[in-house]
Amino acid sequence: MGKFVLKKVPSGFRFNLKAGNGEVIAVSEVYKTEASCRKGIASVQKNSGSHVEDQTVEGFEKLKHPKFEVYLDKAGEYRFRLKASNGEIIATGEGYKTKKSCLNGIESIGKNAPEAPIVVE
């Protein structure tokens, strides 16, 4: 089972969503307070089953928020970001060599986030 790891950093608080094998699936922005970071975690849990907007396809259909956006970064790697219903980015993924791996990362969020406990480090 996955878990959210909430951590204090020099400029505030952030979380990582880790899969059962310890791999980081998604990371958050830096929040000013622990309470706002916990709200970010709750938003990921709530929106973890959102639709995927594949921005790597020409003429892709723009979907309403909440949604996962799949895109190519400057290095040519596939990445995703999860946006809440207000359009704010609440979690991002690492760079993947293939779109399939990126989509697997999104699928892993759907499996791990909803029931993941929060561990404070």
What are the residues whose beta carbons fall under 8 Å from the beta carbon of 48, sequence distance 6 or more?
Answer: 82, 109, 110, 113, 114
Q: Domains in the chain: how many in total?
A: 1
Boundaries of domain holding 20: 3-120
Per-residue pLDDT tens for 1-31? 899 999 999 999 999 999 999 999 999 999 9
pLDDT value of residue 25 = 95
pTM to 2 decimal places = 0.94
Instruction: For residue 96, give the nearest of 78, 119, 116, 117 by alpha carbon.
Output: 78
What are the residues whose beta carbons fall under 8 Å from the beta carbon of 27, sequence distance 6 or more?
Answer: 14, 15, 16, 17, 91, 92, 93
* CATH number, domain containing residue 94: 2.30.29.80
Average pLDDT over residues 27-56: 97
